C-alpha cells in the first residue's frame, strides 16, 4: 500500500467511499445527503492543506485530508480526517493514513493535531488514535446521533507534536 | 437595551466591533485580517441560523450569531458566538446576548449548546458562560496563541438544554 497525494483521476474511487461513510451516519458529522460537488469541497483540501489516498494495485482503499484546524490565534494546530473503504477495513489503512498525517504535521511545524468530533461509538478509530498518541481531551455528551446506538458522546482528541 | 434581529443597516456599526475583536486576537480563532466581505460571511448567519444585535438608543453595543454546530448526526446541537463593543463591556451586554441565544436554542428544540473554542484566558466570557449553565467539557492545551499570555488552552464548553 502506498499513500500519495490525491489526483483528479482518483475522485471516481474516493467519492463512493466518502458517500458510503457519510450516508451510514456512524462516524462523521456531515450532511448524509452531501452532493458530489459539496463532498469535493469538503474533502479536497486546497494548499497548504493536503488530501491523500491510500492505494494498492491502483485501487483506492482510503483517503485522508489534513489542514489547519482554526484560523488566526488557533492556526498552530492542525486537524485531519480519514475514510476507509468498507471492503478494506481492519487492514491498517486508517492507521497508515493517520501516521502519514502526523508526519505531514510534524514537517509543517504544527504544534499539535486536534480531532474535533470523534463519535464515542467509533471504538476502532478511538483506539487507533490512542495507539498513535492522541488522548481524549473531553467528551460532549450525547452530541452525536448514532443510527443504532442513539445519542453518544463526541470526543475532542489531541496530540502535542 | 433591546436585542433584535440583525438588519442590513446595522452592518456599519457591527463591522467595527467585529474588526476590533478579531484584530485584537484575544478571543476568536478568526483570521485577524478578515476582509469586510469575509467578516459578513462569517458573522451573518443565514436561516435557520440567526444574527442579532444588542441596541441602546440606536447604538449597537454588541452582536451574537447562533446556528447548528455540526451537520448530519451532530445537528441537534447548536452553537453561538458573541462580540461586545470595547466601550460597552462590563454592562451585561454579553450576558444578555447569551441568554437570548439560549432562549432561541430552547425554542428551536436543540438538545444542547456547544462552544467549540473559548480561550482559557478570556475569564470574563468563561465566567459568564458558567453562570448561565455551561461547563468546561475539556481544554485543548496551548491551542490558542494569545498576543500577551502566549499559548493558552482552548475550552470546549457545553450546556444541555
- Residues forming beta bridges with residue A113, ordered by sequence position: A78, A159
Decide if B29 touches A, using CB distance below 8 A.
yes
Considering only CB atoms, A74 lies closest to which of B114, B138, B143, namely B143
3-class DSSP assignment, residue A26: coil
Could A77 and B146 be called an inter-chain contact, meaning their C-beta atoms sit closer than 8 Å? no
Least Cα separation, residue A7 to chain B (angstroms) = 27
Decide if B158 touches A, using CB distance below 8 A.
yes
- Alpha carbon distances (Å) from B161 to A143, B72, B95, B102, B125: 12, 19, 17, 8, 19
Residue A124 CA from chain centroid, whole number:
13
Q: What is the pLDDT of residues B102-132, one digit of tens each?
A: 999 999 999 999 999 999 999 999 999 999 9
3-class DSSP assignment, residue A46: coil
Q: What is the pLDDT of residue A121?
A: 98
End-to-end CA distance of chain B: 25
Which pTM value belongs to this model?
A: 0.96
- In terms of C-beta density within 10 A (0-12 exposed, 13-18 middle, 19 or more buried), how is residue B141 classed? middle
Residue B6 CA from chain centroid, whole number:
14
What is the 3-state composition of chain A as percent helix, strand, coil, each rounded to the nearest 5?
35, 35, 30
Q: For A82-94, what is the mean pLDDT? A: 96
Q: What is the pLDDT of residue B138?
A: 98
Q: Are A64 and A51 in contact (CB under 8 A)?
A: yes
Q: What is the pLDDT of residue A86?
A: 95
In angstroms and rounded to an integer, the radius of gyration of the C-alpha atoms of chain B is: 15
Taking CA–CA distances from B160, the nearest residue in chain A reads A141
Q: How far apart are CA B155 and CA B159, in angstroms?
A: 13
Q: What is the torsion angle, in degrees rounded to the nearest 10, for the CA atoms of residue A19, residue A25, residue A31 and residue A32?
A: 50
Q: What is the pLDDT of residue A18?
A: 98
Q: How far apart are CA B126 and CA B135, in angstroms?
A: 9
Q: Are A129 and A101 in contact (CB under 8 A)?
A: no
Could B73 and A119 be called an inter-chain contact, meaning their C-beta atoms sit closer than 8 Å? yes
3-state secondary structure A120-158: CCCHHHHHHHHHCCCEEEEEEEEEEEECCCEEEEEEEEE
Could A72 and B143 be called an inter-chain contact, meaning their C-beta atoms sit closer than 8 Å? no
Considering only CB atoms, B139 lies closest to which of A137, A139, A160, namely A137
Side-chain-side CA neighbours of B146 within 13 Å: the count stands at: 16
Q: What is the pLDDT of residues A104-149, one digit of tens each?
A: 999 999 999 999 999 999 999 999 999 999 999 999 999 999 999 9
Taking CA–CA distances from B116, the nearest residue in chain A reads A116
Omega prior to A47 cis, within 30 of 0: no
Residue B99 CA from chain centroid, whole number:
12
Q: At what angle do helices B123-131 and B93-108 cross, to 10 degrees?
A: 50
Could A145 and B73 be called an inter-chain contact, meaning their C-beta atoms sit closer than 8 Å? yes
Least Cα separation, residue A21 to chain B (angstroms) = 12
Q: What is the pLDDT of residue A14?
A: 98
Residue ranges of A 84-143 with Cβ closer than 8 A to chain B: 111-112, 114, 116-117, 119, 136-143
Rounded average pLDDT per 10-residue block, chain B, 161 residues = 97 98 97 96 96 97 98 98 96 98 98 98 97 98 98 98 97
ipTM of the predicted structure? 0.95
Amino acid at each position: 500500500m502506498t499513500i500519495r497525494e490525491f489526483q483528479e483521476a482518483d475522485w471516481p474511487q474516493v467519492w463512493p467511499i466518502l458517500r458510503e461513510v457519510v450516508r451510514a451516519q456512524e462516524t462523521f458529522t456531515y450532511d448524509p445527503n452531501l452532493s458530489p460537488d459539496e463532498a469535493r469541497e469538503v474533502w479536497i483540501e486546497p494548499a497548504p492543506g493536503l488530501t491523500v489516498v491510500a492505494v494498492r494495485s491502483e485501487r483506492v482503499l482510503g483517503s485522508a485530508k489534513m489542514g489547519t484546524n482554526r484560523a488566526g490565534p488557533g492556526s498552530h494546530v492542525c486537524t485531519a480526517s480519514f475514510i476507509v473503504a468498507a471492503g478494506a477495513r481492519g487492514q491498517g489503512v486508517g492507521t497508515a493514513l493517520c501516521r502519514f498525517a502526523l508526519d505531514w504535521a510534524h514537517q509543517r511545524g504544527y504544534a499539535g493535531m486536534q480531532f474535533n468530533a470523534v463519535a464515542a461509538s467509533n471504538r476502532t478509530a478511538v483506539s487507533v488514535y490512542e495507539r498513535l498518541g492522541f488522548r481524549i481531551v473531553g467528551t460532549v455528551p450525547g452530541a452525536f446521533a448514532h443510527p443504532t446506538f442513539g445519542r453518544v458522546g463526541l470526543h475532542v482528541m489531541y496530540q502535542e507534536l
